[in-house]
Each structure stands twice: as structure tokens, then as C-alpha cells.
Amino acid sequence: MRGELGTHESAILACLHLLSHPQARGQILSIKPDAADRDVFFEARLDVYLQLIIHSRRANPGVCSEDEITAAKELLDVLKGRSKDFPSILGLLRAVGHGTCQEALPVSLIERVLKLSHYQANLTRELDSLRRARHWFDAYKLVCGLRDIVSLPMADRLLVDMFPDYPMWAAWRPDFRRILSWESPNISPYRSRLGPVLDLEGPDTTGQQRGTLRMSSPGAFAHLVMPAGSEDRDVLDRLLEMLDSCLLVGPHTIDLFTELCLENRQPWPESLMQLKAAIQLNDNMVSKTLG
């Protein structure tokens, strides 16, 4: 923080450990910016204020709650663009929803920061980009826990204003290990071709707010020949499980998966049987010869 704080704020930080909790908290709150301020120094004052909240944990533990510190960190990441990944505000929304940061970080101040940073527009672009690329793991990091936050009435205002399509994202319940495995470099060359399969584990875009798309719709696989007497969703589950298995064998087996299940015109059950036989051999080079 050296070189970033003014003399007054530096003095508060330096003396924070000597003060009682009420005194220390009073000093921090004394420099809280007013959300209605429109002068050119608002962002600079806000930056300093958020840093004081964060560093109070070390200088005088307990002066600010963990929710306040988490909310301040996430707001500072949004304000400064410090995070390597797109900044999440889930901790902030949770704190607002629980009503545990209202004194230090009122909703009016939080809204001002998020609007100054164009967070809603940027988040919309980020999630749309991740959805088009089927990078579900990165998308999930931005929305994980949203369902619990939706049930907190105090967070509703921010959710509506700042979080695009939050009912769809809140309902999403993918297989975490599966979407994490899809970040493997082995799948990168095939990601576009695998798109219709990857979509099945993505959010439900039909508006029914189910856990994944395949729970509401077969997506691009509605036209395929299904085994007699089999439920569509069972077949889709089996398809995803086969992709999981192919990832464990190697990239040539993934390539074989795309040829047999996505590009092959023969009846689908036969394709699945051939793929299953190749997976059981557990030999990536054999899959290459079959492709």
C-alpha cells in the first residue's frame, strides 16, 4: 500500500493495531466514500477505503468481518482489473444477501462501483464468449453458488441489475469433474467438433431451468435414431460417459468418438457399439488405425 495512501489514511493504518475495535472501525468508516459523490477523486478515495478494509484483517483482526473483507477484495478486483481471470462477485453478492456488509459497503456504493466498471456488460460478454466456446469450467467458476444467493432477498436487486440470465445460470448443475476434464489439452483440437456433445452438460437454454441442457432437451441429437425402448436422456448420459472414457485413453480415441458419434451416418447404436469396443482396448494408437 506504500505510495498509494494519503497521509491521513496512512496514519489510520499505522495506528489501527493500537485502537479498540469500535475506535478502529470508526476510523475506517470515517473515510467511506459517498455513493452520490460525482467528483474526479471518487475512485481514488474508494480504492484507498477498500484497501483499508482488506488490510484491517492483519492490522487489527476482527475490526471488519470476513464478509466485508471478501466483498472489498472482489470490488477492488472489479475496480482495478487486478484479477488474472474475469473477476467474480459471488462473495460480494453473498455478503449483500446476508446483510453483513451494509454498514461498510452499502448497496448504493456497490452499485456505483459495478456501474463505473461496466460490470454487467462485461460479464454478459464474458459468459456469452465462454458459452460459445463451451468452456464450461471457466463459466462455472463465475456462477457456482448462485442458486444459494438467489434465495437471499437482499441480493435480488444486484442480481437483476448486474447478473445476466441469472435464473438459467443459478439452475445449472453440471458434473464438476467432467467439465474440469474438458479443460485437458487433448480435447482442444476437437472442441468445436464436439460442441453438440459439450452443450449437453451446459446450462439449460430452453428456459425450463433444469440442471443441464440434456435434462430438458436432446439438443442437436433430437434427430438421431435411439435404441428401441430407451429414454433419450439415458442415451445422452451414455454418450457423455463414453466421451469421459475416450479422454482417459487419448486424443486419437477422441477423434474416433467424433467420427463415429458426430460425423458417421450409420445408425447411432452401431456407432456406440464400435466406440465401446475401441475404448475397451484402451489403446490410443489402435483408435488411430480405426479412425
Alpha-carbon distance of 114 to 125, in angstroms, equals 15
Q: What is the mean pLDDT of each run of 10 residues along the chain (291 residues)?
A: 59 85 93 90 91 92 95 93 83 92 94 93 95 96 92 85 90 97 92 93 95 88 56 78 89 87 70 76 55 51
Alpha-helical (H) ranges within 99-194 are: 107-116, 119-133, 136-143, 146-150, 156-162, 166-171, 176-181
Q: How many CB atoms lie within 10 A of CB 289?
A: 10
Burial class (CB in 10 A: 0-12, 13-18, 19+), 272: middle
List the end-to-end C-alpha distance of the chain, in Å, as a whole number: 58
The pLDDT, as a whole number, for residue 224 is 58
52 neighbors 17 (Cβ within 8 angstroms): no
Grid coordinates 430438458 are at which residue? Answer: 216
Whole-angstrom distance, CA of residue 131 vs CA of residue 240: 18
Angle at 249 between CA 247 and CA 251, to 5 degrees: 65
Q: 61 and 50 in contact (C-beta within 8 Å)?
A: no
Distances in Å between the Cα of 266 and the Cα atoms of 35, 154, 286 are 63, 54, 21
Query: Tell me, what amino acid is at 287?
Result: S
| Spatial distance between the Cα atoms of 140 and 135, rounded to a whole number of angstroms | 9
Q: What is the pLDDT of residue 2?
A: 40
Q: List the chain domain ranges.
A: 7-171, 176-290
How high is the pLDDT of residue 232?
A: 58
pLDDT (0 to 100) of residue 229: 45
- In this prediction the pTM is 0.84
